[in-house]
Amino acid sequence: MTTNITIDPELKALIPHLTTDERQQLEVNLLAEGCRDPLVIWGGHGILLDGHNRLEICQKHNIHYDSTELLLPDRDAARRWIINNQFGRRNLSPNQLSYIRGKQYESEKLNVGRPKDNCAQSAHFKTADRLAVQHKIDPATIRRDAQYANAVDTIAENCGGDARDIILSHDARITRKDVIGLMKKPPTFQRTIMTKIISSEAKDIRMAKRQVKRERTESQVEACQDRMVDGWYQGDWRDHIGKLTDRSVSLLLTEPPYDQVYQGHRKRVRNDPIAYDAVSEQAAMELEALLMAINPKLTVDAHLLIFCTWRSELSIRIAIENAGYVVRGILVWVKNRHESGTLCGAFTPKYEHIIHAVKGNPLLIKPMGDVIVVVKDLSDRHPTEKPIDLLRPLIEATTVEGTLVTDPFGGVASTCVAAYLSGRQYWGCEIDAGYYAAGMERLNDEL
């Protein structure tokens, strides 16, 4: 009987837990027949590779057990041995099998020799193809398994090992799609959801989300907003700008309020150049007033990113410069999804401009090109809603975590949501009650 056996948490985590019934049956068998199968130990390291449950039960009841050593060259080899040893053993649930295949893919992918053309992606495909033949499934499933395994491990890293055990348990009702979706949420939200599942308050991720949403009272929302520098407000920016402290804003990210002056005739205005120019001029005047008022609220060195179209670019740029800021450049957002325009009268618009201006001399935190390709969201919340996948890189390129991002013409709070997901504080306003309510609902879902 070996007494100096080491349990390695990372290697143990590769082995799915027994169900309660399986564990009880194993204990009955060991008490009745003894430990017939030797434990497998990594030779020269004393780390247990197989037999974790048997070891715990034998130590609990002082049952004799034998062990055998397995010589392996390195930790990667030990990991691969444990993974391969799981296939064909006890009845694995679909989620457990998916997780093990995903870990197998990641482990073997790292050990594939780099091709001569230095194309790692080619090696990845070869690994997926080979494992697909082994498991009699398609390569795309293998790669989805790897995504799922990464999501499980990420949640376990943020929420503790119990989260992995509950997700992979036989009686879990947690789908792989929900696990991957939860992994994309902030760690604090992951912990909130998994705490409810681990404590049996909720049976799955969707139920836990519904409970969290129900439990948010108005006081909790207000408290959360207080922590996020007053957060999200309904009304004109003039009514709320005084709540910002001087030199607190690192980034102004917004689009002038064209929709306030469309007054329900957006399509007609778009197709009437004279009417559109009038709208652009009014929006530029509103923007200029905002930029002059917010100047003392900006840090000494601050960025401004302001959306516009080619038609409104000149008036918006004049407004920016009239307010005392320096234009550094124009970014192009290629959005692919677009309005039809005049069909045969003009080329179909597929992009928007983003004017980059500055106060002082701020630097970029991350290098970024001036052409950004992000597909426009198909959302009916707001006619000019910007995708989070577009806003987050802009925020992360111009600010550091914990700094304040503002959007005085907030729409449905896209900038605020993107700032929150990027670890920044946010402050935003929206004058339209319907858009404000949609923005509040989005923030409640994220916080």
pLDDT at site 126: 82
Q: What CATH number is associated with residue 231?
A: 3.40.50.150
Residue 163: domain span: 9-185
Q: Are residues 109 and 246 in the same domain?
A: no
CA-to-CA dists, residue 384 to 67, 304, 378, 409, 444, angstroms? 66, 19, 10, 12, 21
Residue 105 contacts by C-beta under 8 Å, 6 or more apart in sequence? 127, 128, 131, 142, 143, 145, 146, 149
- What is the Cα–Cα distance from 349 to 338, expressed in whole angstroms? 6
> Does residue 203 form part of some domain?
no
Q: Which residue has the higher pLDDT, 281 or 110?
A: 281
Q: Which amino acid is at 10?
A: E
pLDDT at site 124: 47
> Does residue 349 form part of some domain?
yes
Percent of the chain scored above 90 by pLDDT? 36
Domain limit, last residue, from 185, 202, 234:
185
Q: Are residues 154 and 292 in the same domain?
A: no
The angle at the Cα of 221, spanning 255 to 414, to the nearest 5 degrees, equals: 20
Domain limit, last residue, from 168, 185, 202:
185
Q: Read off the DSSP letter of residue 102.
A: H
- What is the Cα–Cα distance from 219 to 217, expressed in whole angstroms? 5
56-80 residue pLDDT tens = 888 889 999 888 888 888 888 888 8
Q: How many domains are there within the chain?
A: 2
- What is the Cα–Cα distance from 70 to 255, expressed in whole angstroms? 64
311-361 residue pLDDT tens = 889 999 999 999 999 999 999 999 876 555 555 667 778 899 999 999 999
Model confidence at 120, pLDDT cuts 50, 70, 90, reads very low
- Asked whether the predicted pLDDT for residue 151 surpasses 90, the reply is yes
Phi-psi region of 58 (alpha: psi -120 to 50; beta: other; left: phi over 0): alpha
Q: Which residue has the higher pLDDT, 400 or 124?
A: 400
Domain limit, last residue, from 132, 161, 185:
185
CA-to-CA dists, residue 240 to 13, 245, 409, 417, angstroms? 51, 11, 12, 19
- Averaged pLDDT, 286-311: 94
Q: Are residues 250 and 394 in the same domain?
A: yes
For the chain, how many residues are written? Answer: 447
Pairing mode of beta strands 249-254, 404-407: parallel
